[in-house]
A and B are shown apart, each in its own frame.
Chain A
Amino acid sequence: MVGLTPRVDYLAGFCCPLGGLAAGKPRMLCLGAEIFLSTGSELVYVYDRERGLLTAVYKFPGQVWHLELLALRRALYVLCARRGIYCLSLDQASRSVSQDDGDDKDDGDDGDSEDSQDGEPPSSVIPVDPDACVLPDATLCTFTVLDDVLITLAQGPTQWKMQLFKCPCPGEDPRPRGQIGEVELSTCIPPAGSPREPTAPHFLPVLCCVSPQGSRVLHSHLRGSGGFTLEETLFGLLFGADASLLESPVILCGLPDGHLCCVVLKTLVTSRLAPGDPKALVKILHHLEEPVVFIGALRTELLAEDVEESHSDCLVALGHHGRTLVMKASWDEAGNLVPVLREYCLPGPVLCAACGRGSCMYHSTPSDLCVVDLAWRGTPWDPTQPDGSPGGLPSLLCPTTLNVCSVVTLSVSPRAPEGGAELLALSAKGRLMTCRLDLNSETPCPTRVTAANTGQKIKEFLSGIFTVSERVSSLKKAVDQRNKALTCLNEAMNVSCALLSTEEGPRPISCTTTTSWSRLQLQDMLTATCLLENSSDFSLDQGWALCVQVLTSSRASELDLASSAVTYTIPVDRLGPGSRWEVTLPLGPGEDGVLDLPVTVSCTLFYSLREVVGGALIPSDSFNDPSLDEHSLDVLPEQEGICLPLSKHTVDMLQCLRFPSLATPHMQAPGPLSPASDPVDTFLGACLGPGSELAGPASLQAKYLPPSVAAIKMSVELLRATLGDSHSGVSLCCATLQWLLAENAAVDILRARALSSVQGVAPDGTDVHLIVREVVVTDLCLAGPIQAMEIQVESSSLANMCRAHHAVIGRMQRMVMEQAAQGSSPPDLRVQCLRQIQANHEMLLREVHTLRDRLCMEDEARSRTTAERLLQVYRQLRSPSLLLL
């Protein structure tokens, strides 16, 4: 069969989606001169070969998944996805079409008239009446018909379910009365899809009806509907004595998970009260380990001359990737009859396949249509001949190419020419064609290769080698990619473990945040610098990113607004062990010149799974397998990744103060610039010269309003305990001030000058005065006066004063918490006095609440007085200043 060149004729073209038809769903059946065809869309076409035109197009309410013909009743059964099975009477169909023939030609030109390209009269599309639905069931995946029994396979939530129905006729009341049997294929689990949104299955199961030789089922009719008659021997061996004795047809079922199982039809008569026991009724023949796409039967041994009708003596099941199972009866060494199951490998992925009447199987891949001949040309089994290959199966299958590519559905035409075969094929481009093959018996055996075809053979080998090497390289690439992804994942896992397992002490990967002022484009900017330090043994590689979230506190005037957050994501570009990496971010002030303190900066490490794994899951090889990419994309939802929090840092007023008065001329510390960064203002300000008054409302306020003041006292003892040895050599006042401004860039200058009070500038340009002095508190403690330190915050801007006050209190709180943890005891206090203070505060707080409520409701004029009162109360709240002991 070397050099088999088929004669290909194109019959018609059908519309197909962009990218061609997908395999698996298109179907084609022949009945006489009529070809019934579905391309996987909602349409079913009826094409007449003799007249060479489309005679009817039916439109169904959903995708058509399967077709079966019941020739005796002249009925076409159609499985419509998620709807059920419809039944069309063929006689009725032709009548309705002939009526439409006289109609306007453009009647049905909703995109379907182009189906008939070759100048045929466009047949109109007949929408199928919903009443034609004989078996409504949304879970059906495939079905087959045998005489007047409809065998369906439905996908339940956990298992496949096979059901038997009396074939319903159109118009008959369908389901419940007709059901005669049911069994669950419980051992085979259907693919777990998301139960909420049932997606179209990638591979549909395959059903095939097999009858024993002596059965009274009409054979010709069996063949038409995808069924076969099998030789008694193989039948009995595969399906058991019971099936043989009952002469019962057997349903073979190939599932997408690779199971090949069989159900003896006559045993499957059950009802709701007497369910089928799957263990007794379902027999698993084999597991192909890849989706079964085709089941067929062949006649492999030569027939005696006088035998009229041939029965198949060999069953074939084909997997998606080309794995092929061949089952045949044979004798073992002892002379016992045994079934032989042998697996072969054919080139895949298999799009579709078909079996002819003889020993040839045709199967189609995206690149080729091949013939495989399973004929056993040796002598029939002879016990005297010891080397008879068991089962008479070839040890290797040699597919012969027909040079037709991407055929999505195949059918062997019943009108085969003498000594040959005729195939009907639908290509992925939607073209219907016939291939005539000459399979004459003089085709040489592989041993008798002539010189003429040796060259051809070598050519084929070479091209075969080429495709194999191509495939190998692409597979290698895919493997490399996956290995890399696995390495990355492993590394990420290590990093995560290292970070998450250290609860105390320094973490192996740390991030510290510092702030500083810098001048950017004539405007002063507070910038945060995040220093990522990797002291672990692992490196942060591709896929890792540092996420910095900057969370500003809300303004008083926008109470109802949630505080705003900005997140910066910066990919980490390989950070090896021991190395560090710095990121600088602007914190503000924004365009309006306002910096809402305090600002919280939190740093997180993020590992994007999509970036690392996504590439490896989608193979980029040329053998693009439709089954892979869709699944792989489902694995990774959007935004999937690992998130590891590193640090959280709060930037408050004390860190943002600048001290121009301290700046030494040679130091490059940037002096404060007016936040209104209008160059003209700057120029004018410069012209007025130093000492001149600042313009703007803030300065005016500074001039005419008394500064706001707040003070906090804390006992010297507490401070000493906190500061420890660090203040030795300096007065406690200076040490306190240094402690307060420890995170400020100017702390070194402070330390150098030993100041106890300092005048700073807030980010918006107003003054903030910090004064630290020693005081004595007399009336609080029973033991006598207490030495205390008073920290006074003074600012012309009330807001800045509050921010600074808040910052100072924050520091104190932290300190008190630490001290409390160390367990220092406070001195004896006058409880009465404390109570008084607390009662006062509580009363004031209550007033604050009522005032604030009022403020929300009142009109503008009255609200001003309320606001003033509110400020007053706030001041009172602060004024018997807080004392910390």
Chain B
Amino acid sequence: MSHETPLGSSAPHASCLDLWRERNDQLVRQAKVAQGLSLRRQQLAQDALEGLRELLHCLQGLPAAVPVLPLELIVICNFITLRASLAQGFTEDQAHDIQQGLERVLETQEQLEPRLERGLSGLWDSVLHSSSLLPELLPALHHLAALQAALWLSTDHLGDLTLLLQTLNGSQSGTSEDLLLLLKTWNLPAEESDAPLTLQDARDLRDVLLTASAYRQGLQELITGRLSRALSSLQEAASGLCPQPVLVQVYTALGTCLRKMGSPQKALLYLVSALKGGSTWGPPLLEASRLYRQLGNTAAELESLELLVEALSIPHSSEAPQLLIEVELLLPPPDPALPFHSGTQSQAKYLLASRCLQTGRAEDAAEHYLDLLALLLDGSEPKFSPPPCPPGPCMPEMFLEAAAALIQAGRAQDALTVCEELLSRMSSLLPKMPQLWGDARKGTKESPHCPPWVSATYLLQGHAWVQLGAQKEAISEFSRCLELLFRATHKDKEQGPASNCDQGCTSDVALQQLRAAALISRGLGWVASGQDTKALQDFLLSVQMCPGNQDASFHLLQTLRRLDRRDEATALWWRLEAQTKLPQENATWSLPLYLETCLSWIRPHDHETLLEEFQTSLLEPRDL
């Protein structure tokens, strides 16, 4: 017992126990002072941790004795609290520390033999049963149990946790499986006034546990779709002790839940209070945009998205973590799949741009897309910006969408620039065209494979030329596009499912539609330059390619009429009539946004009038 405390405690008759307790109290005070960011303070906290570790070594070097055990357990609790909060998470080490503490308790009860078979859970069971004989240990044991509960909560061992809480609550209420109820009814023994200092009060810890588990439970139920239960759990979490960032998350989750339950006004209220509450505006704004989209209020939706982009451009200032077990520590790792994951600025920007394009605000969309590209590509500034994570489109598609938006907005020249930029940046990966085409005459080698987005780039370039009135250039771009597309056919079949993102973005259906779009586009080009026979060929091909595509059939019909090939036209008309009566099933296809936009350009504007007009013109001669 030659343990020297560096404290230099003046009391001459101080026993070792008093010295140790003094040391614990001093270290706890030191750690409490060390809350903060600066290096010095971090070092101070680290030193306190080391001090606690040493103290623990001292205490555990001696045989376990009941009078010292409460102090020893409190030191373990302080050690775990400080360590977990410094590392911002629990690890196996903490489980080990707890286990050691429990074994020390059992050591005094001489029940250590069969512990090998029992896990931590069994250990708790026997400790809590034997500790009923040792009432002086109970406060410290409950404190340790609270830490164990935090550990199990953060590692998702909910079964063990429920069992532990049932044991702690006494067996009379052991029938309840409800974690929240168990936590609420958990009656912590009162700590004595002269107990050693703790970093975090056990009651405080229990409240944190209650909030965290309510939030976790609420999220789980929200994901699995049990909305009313999710609502009550989340409300429980919101009413608890909650730091601001978590409160914002809880309110946002409540907003999501209420939106799904069909009460948008209540949801809005929660989102507003979330926005008022904290400095993390991302999730509530994103949720608000979804809400407005559901309500059909496009202006408000886009406004909230704009705000979201702005909010995300502010660098996220993280505060220094407290040296306590806090709710954040016990939450599941943030999951991008969760509905209120706000993502990054460029993701938000992309969302805004694409929504603008989808809702027909082409000018805004074009601006936003250009901003986005600048944000992503501007390498001069050492700002690292991400492209959107999956399931967003990959980078080439984003370029294509930008080009489509520019064409839609009537800025064909800019669209051409974007396309050229894309091709030049990827030039090294493109097949060396002239060489290979020269090679193709041998016929032995297969044509090179080319990602579909290259063809799509040519398609958009063609449309840009169309807008600029240069039919000749347009037709040559469309031809290039088609050439690449048809060369890719068998290669694609061989490769099976596309392995790379470059190809993966385009499904089979999309490829088919892309081909049809290219054929129709070229056909329209021929029509514009007065070469109806060539146009007819292309339209025929596109109808073959994509029998379900009505646009192709309409264009074909028109061309046939113009060429005065009445029989074929009539046959086609009958077929079209039959088709329009069938329910449209192709609505489920989800095509890339740029392709959708492109298809909208080549859609004949006046379906109904055309059909009616044709009908009359078709039927009139027969009547004669």
Binding site for B on A (CB under 8 A): 130-131, 133, 136, 147-149, 157, 164, 173-174, 176-177, 180-181, 195-196, 213-216, 231-233, 235-237, 240-242, 244-247, 265-275, 277, 280, 333-337, 383
Residues of B within 8 A of A214 (CB): 425
Q: How many Å lie between the Cα of A79 and that of B386 in the bound state?
A: 28
Q: Determine the distance from Cα of A280 to Cα of B93 in the docked complex, in whole angstroms.
A: 30
Pick the most buried of A149, A214, A246, A265: most chain B CB atoms within 10 A of its CB: A246
Contact of B334 with A275 in the complex, beta carbons under 8 Å:
yes
How far is it, in angstroms, between the C-alpha of A173 and the C-alpha of B39 when the chains are bound? 7
- B residues in contact with A174, CB < 8 Å: 39
Min CB gap A273→B, angstroms: 6
Tell me the interface secondary structure of chain B in the complex: loop
Q: Is B449 an interface residue (CB 8 A)?
A: yes
B385 touches A266 (CB 8 A): yes
Q: A246-B387, A334-B446 are in contact. Are A273 and B395 (CB under 8 A)?
A: no
For residue B264, which residues in chain A have a CB less than 8 angstroms away from its CB? none
Report the minimum CB–CB distance from A232 to chain B (whole Å).
4
A206 to chain B, nearest CB (A): 22
Q: Is there contact, CB below 8 Å, between A266 and B384?
A: yes
- A215–B93 alpha-carbon span in the complex (Å): 45
Does B390 lie at the interface of the complex (its beta carbon under 8 Å from any beta carbon of A)? yes
Across the interface, A164 reaches (CB within 8 A) one of B384, B427, B447, namely B384
A173: which B residues are within 8 A, CB to CB?
37-39
A181 to B320, CA, bound (A): 18
How far, in angstroms, from A247 to B43 measured CA to CA in the complex?
A: 40
Q: Are B386 and A269 in contact (CB-based, < 8 A)?
A: yes
Q: In the bound complex, do residue A336 and residue B320 qualify as a contact, i.e. CB atoms below 8 Å apart?
A: no
Task: Find chain B residues with CB under 8 A from A240 CB.
Answer: 500-502
Q: Is A176 within 8 A of B502, CB to CB?
A: no
Contacts of B38 in A (CB 8 A): 173
Contact B377 A177 (CB under 8 A): no
Is B317 touching A245 in the complex (CB atoms < 8 A)?
A: no
Interface membership of chain B positions 386-405, coded 1 if the CB is closer than 8 angstroms to chain A and 0 otherwise: 11011000111001000000
Bound-complex Cα distance A271 to B315 (A):
10
**21 contacts across the A-B interface (CB closer than 8 A):** A136-B42, A148-B382, A180-B384, A195-B91, A241-B502, A244-B429, A245-B395, A245-B396, A246-B387, A246-B395, A269-B344, A273-B283, A273-B316, A273-B341, A274-B336, A275-B334, A280-B389, A333-B446, A334-B447, A335-B445, A337-B431
Q: Which residues of B contact A195 (CB under 8 A)?
A: 91-93, 96
Which residues on the A side are within 8 Å of B382 (C-beta)? 147-149
* Beta-carbon contact of A268 and B384 below 8 Å: yes
Q: How far is the CA of A335 from the CA of B438 in the complex (A)?
A: 12
Interface pair A196/B318, CB less than 8 Å apart: no
Chain B residues contacting A273 (CB-CB under 8 Å) are 280, 282-283, 316, 334, 341-342
Identify the closest chain B residue to A273 (Cβ): B334
Which of B318, B380, B426 interacts with A236 by CB under 8 Å? B426
Q: Evaluate contact between A231 and B428: CB separation under 8 angstroms.
A: yes
Residues of A with C-beta under 8 A to B509 = none
Q: Which residues of A contact B316 (CB under 8 A)?
A: 271-273
Closest to A242 in B: B395
B525 beta carbon closer than 8 Å to chain A: no
> Whole-angstrom distance from the CB of B317 to the nearest CB of chain A?
7
Interface centre among B43, B384, B390 (most CB of A within 10 A): B384
What residues of chain B have their CB less than 8 Å away from a CB belonging to chain A? 37-39, 42-43, 91-93, 96, 280, 282-283, 316-318, 320, 333-334, 336, 341-344, 376-377, 379-380, 382, 384-387, 389-390, 394-396, 399, 422, 425-429, 431, 435-436, 439, 445-449, 451, 491, 500-502
List of A residues within 8 angstroms of B336 by Cβ: 274-275, 277
Is there contact, CB below 8 Å, between B320 and A246? no
Q: Which 7 A-B pairs have the closest CB atoms?
A: A232-B428, A245-B395, A334-B446, A236-B429, A242-B395, A233-B428, A269-B386
**Given A195-B93, A269-B385, A275-B336: A241 touches B451 (CB 8 Å cut-off):** yes
A271 to B386, CA, bound (A): 12
Contact between A196 and B342, CB atoms less than 8 A apart: no
User: A235: which B residues are within 8 A, CB to CB?
Assistant: 428
Q: How far is the CB of B452 from chain A (nearest CB, A)?
A: 12
Contacts of A244 in B (CB 8 A): 425-426, 428-429
Q: Which residues of A contact B445 (CB under 8 A)?
A: 333-335, 383
Closest A residue, CB atoms, query B429:
A236
- Known contacts A245-B426, A337-B448; 17 additional CB pairs below 8 A are A130-B43, A147-B382, A149-B384, A157-B92, A173-B37, A177-B317, A235-B428, A236-B426, A245-B395, A245-B422, A245-B425, A266-B385, A271-B344, A277-B390, A280-B390, A333-B445, A383-B445
Chain B residues with CB under 8 A of A268:
384, 386
Residue of A nearest to B502 (CB): A241
Q: Once bound together, how far apart are the Cα atoms of A269 and B318, in whole Å? A: 15
Q: How far is the CB of B398 from chain A (nearest CB, A)?
A: 9
The answer to whether B43 touches A269 (Cβ under 8 A) is no
Closest to B399 in A: A245
Instruction: Give the chain A neighbours of B377 by CB distance below 8 A.
Output: 245-247
A382–B91 CA distance with the chains assembled, in angstroms:
58
Say yes or no: A216 contacts B379, CB within 8 Å: yes
Shortest CB distance A128–B (Å): 14
In chain A, what residue has the closest Cβ to B97? A196
Residues of A near B502 (CB, < 8 A) are 240-241
Interface centre among A271, A273, A277, A383 (most CB of B within 10 A): A273
- Nearest to B501 among chain A residues (CB) is A240
Beta-carbon contact of B429 and A237 below 8 Å: yes
Residue of B nearest to A247 (CB): B379
Q: Is the CB of A241 within 8 A of B396?
A: yes
CA of A274 to CA of B345 in the docked complex: distance in angstroms?
11
Q: Is the CB of A274 within 8 A of B344?
A: yes
**Is A335's CB under 8 angstroms from B439's CB?**
yes
Instruction: Determine whether the beta carbon of A337 is less than 8 Å from that of B37.
Output: no
Residues of A within 8 A of B428 (CB): 213, 231-233, 235-236, 244
Question: What residues of A have a CB within 8 angstroms of the CB of B446 in the complex?
Answer: 333-335
Q: How far is the CA of A870 from the CA of B390 in the complex (A)?
A: 90
